[in-house]
Amino acid sequence: MEKLKAAVKGKKIILLGPPGSGKGNRSKDLKELGLVHVASGIALRARVRNDAESELSKKAKDYMKRGDLVPDDIVVPIVMEHLKKKECVVNGFVLDGFPRNKSQSEILFSEMDIDLVLYLEVPRRHLIYGIVEANRRTCTKCALTYSDFDPPQDAEACNKCGGEIVKRADDNAETIKYRLKLYEEETKAFLPDLEAKGIVELLPITVSDDEEVDTSKLKTLRGDVYRTETDQGESVRMLNLVAMRERLFDILVEKFM
């Protein structure tokens, strides 16, 4: 662990994945290695909460409520300012929720090099189920998420930081479907550019039946191994939080050590 921490120090990592793909939880894993977590969604929600009456906050809130992308002139300065802070330069960062479209990607890459993009691959069917039916809740302080798969020990307080756990206003069926559609359209517009740079690594959550995996590594729902369908219609199992952390760290070892 100490060797891995030293190897990732100063690295700039992007987490790319649709809503509900586990960006918050993977960010927590990367934070344990010393990277600074920079999440555009958390930054925007904090801005709207702390400065509720400003025109900027009201405008941002409207977009967020609908699940639309907040305009670049609001979100880009908030994120870029954070990434240039000394704590990010020295320790490195994990960027969560940004870039979300081609122009954000171009601005980011024109200002800094990125070491790694982790592409979180999760079946669409599970994304909707995990957020809506399994009742995703989010910590307002550190953004860790919980659901019926991984319920918090205390229904209202985060296991990790004690922050308040709430259901996000935009975590409803209609908005989720819209956010997924937007994600697919907008990400497809810039993902090939990042792939061409050779920095994208796939981090899949599914385990096909051909793969032998210890049950202790599988996602369960109320005691049973959970199964979902891939976008191609194959029935699959999924890795749990502990196993995803291992899969993530294996990629980092391979890449940086």
Query: Interface with ligand AMP by CB under 6 A: which residues?
Result: 19, 40-41, 44, 63-64, 67-70, 75, 97-98, 100, 104, 170, 179
**Shortest approach of ligand AMP to residue 109 CB, angstroms?**
14
Q: Considering beta carbons, is residue 45 or 219 the nearer one to ligand AMP?
A: 45
Instruction: Give me the residues paired with residue 166 across strands.
Output: 138
Backbone angles phi, psi at 124, to 5 degrees: -60, -40
C-alpha 177/C-alpha 252 separation (Å) is 32
Q: Considering beta carbons, is residue 19 or 130 the nearer one to ligand AMP?
A: 19
**Shortest approach of ligand AMP to residue 165 CB, angstroms?**
15
What residues are annotated to the active site?
Answer: 23, 100, 136, 168, 179
Q: How far is CA 172 from the centre of its chain?
A: 18
Q: Considering beta carbons, is residue 67 or 130 the nearer one to ligand AMP?
A: 67
Give the C-alpha distances (Å, rounded to integers) separating 102 from 99, 117, 188, 233: 8, 15, 9, 30
What letter would DSSP give residue 192?
A: H
**Shortest approach of ligand AMP to residue 229 CB, angstroms?**
24
**Shortest approach of ligand AMP to residue 148 CB, angstroms?**
20
Angle 72-83/55-66 helices, nearest 10 degrees?
Answer: 100
Contact 189, 102 (CB under 8 A): yes
**Shortest approach of ligand AMP to residue 256 CB, angstroms?**
26
Strands of the sheet containing 206-207, edge to edge, are: 206-207, 235-238, 227-229
Nearest Cα neighbor of 14 from 205, 257, 195 is: 195
Distant-in-sequence, close-in-space partners of 257: CB < 8 Å, separation ≥ 6: 3, 4, 7
Instruction: Give me the residues paired with residue 164 across strands.
Output: 157
Q: Considering beta carbons, is residue 4 or 69 the nearer one to ligand AMP?
A: 69
First to last CA, the chain: 12
Q: Considering beta carbons, is residue 111 or 209 the nearer one to ligand AMP?
A: 111
**Shortest approach of ligand AMP to residue 134 CB, angstroms?**
17
Residue nearest to ligand AMP (CB): 41
Q: Go through 200-220 and write b for each residue having 16 or more CB atoms within 10 A of its CB, e for each that does not.
A: beebbbbbeeeeeeeeebbbe
Q: Considering beta carbons, is residue 104 or 228 the nearer one to ligand AMP?
A: 104
